Amino acid sequence: MAEQLTFFNKNRERIQAVENTFGHTGKSLLRPERVLVGEGRLLKLCRRGPKPKVFFLFNDILVYGSIMVPGRWNNKKQTIPLDEVEVEDMQDETTMANQFLIRTPRKSFYVAAASPDEKQAWMEHIEQYKALLLQHKGRPTDSTARSFAATWIPDTASAICMRCSDRFTVANRRHHCRMCGYIVCGACSKDRALLLNISSSPVRVCRHCVVHLQAQDHREIRYKKQRRVKGKNWKKSSVEDSPTQPEYESSSEEEEDRGYQVPSKWFSGVQQENHSKYCYLKPEHRTPPLRAL
């Protein structure tokens, strides 16, 4: 009992310290049964190149932000539900070593650790606590098909539009398609589309993705018409001729996805021995190596 109380107090102090580094953001990180698993620095590949970011892994969320004063002041806090995160191992490239991909429905991005061991530790802890969270929520722990946001290609990767090949200038600026992540010019990204996994408002999409979305809409309209016709025919059929199950499923994919929109439930069944495995990924706050171009 004394050990549990000691752990509870230390964990609360850690979370409060993390919250203080972000200042008054309006939302407290303190939650019942929330545990800080680890923290450290990772290089995040942004549109203008790799930038060091501070990351905090909890047993239910992943938090990261910009480093203003190392160890004391962070900014632009971003919070991702851990059950929405998927990590993928990536090979080293000329710009970043020890990198892996973090996928989420709203945003996907590459990050790099200071060493292969630290990279492995981050990936293993994210997967471990995601599995525990899904298990606690009564959801399958295996990979579930869902829509992830595309990773943005960095600005430095192309000097021309990746759709029309026009060269970028001061007047012809770079933009990113929110659906495919390509670097495109303004003329090739005039349209806006509603991508609910990214934003509740229409976002910029390139002309290629607009064609794809329009074709997808046409397929959905035809599918709905076919379902209505099948539904009418099924209602007209006699009880003897009707099958034991309808010809079409009563629940659509959209209805099945609603099961994942349940309010967060914090861990109440994690054992103390799992709590004691606090992995402090902050030794010396080393900056991940940035390779020369």
Measure CA of the first residue to CA of the last residue in the chain; give whole Å.
Answer: 55
Percent of the chain, pLDDT > 90? Answer: 50
Report CA-CA distances (Å) from 264 to 15, 132, 136: 18, 13, 11
Residue 222's pLDDT is: 64
Query: Residue for token digits 């632009």?
Result: 76
Structure tokens at 9: 């107090």
Name the pTM for this structure: 0.70
- Give the architecture-level CATH label for domain 2-147+268-285: Roll (2.30)
How many whole angstroms separate alpha carbon 121 and alpha carbon 111? 13
Per residue in 131-176, pLDDT tens?
999 998 888 876 555 688 999 988 888 999 999 999 999 999 999 9
Give residues with Cβ within 8 angstroms of 223, minimum separation 6.
none
How many whole angstroms separate alpha carbon 204 and alpha carbon 206? 7
Q: Kindly list the domain boundaries of the chain, sorted by start residue.
A: 2-147+268-285
* Radius of gyration from C-alpha coordinates of the chain: 23
| Angular region, 251: left φ>0, alpha ψ -120 to 50, beta rest | beta
Query: Residue for token digits 């900014």?
Result: 75
Residue 101's pLDDT is: 95
Contact 57, 38 (CB under 8 A): yes
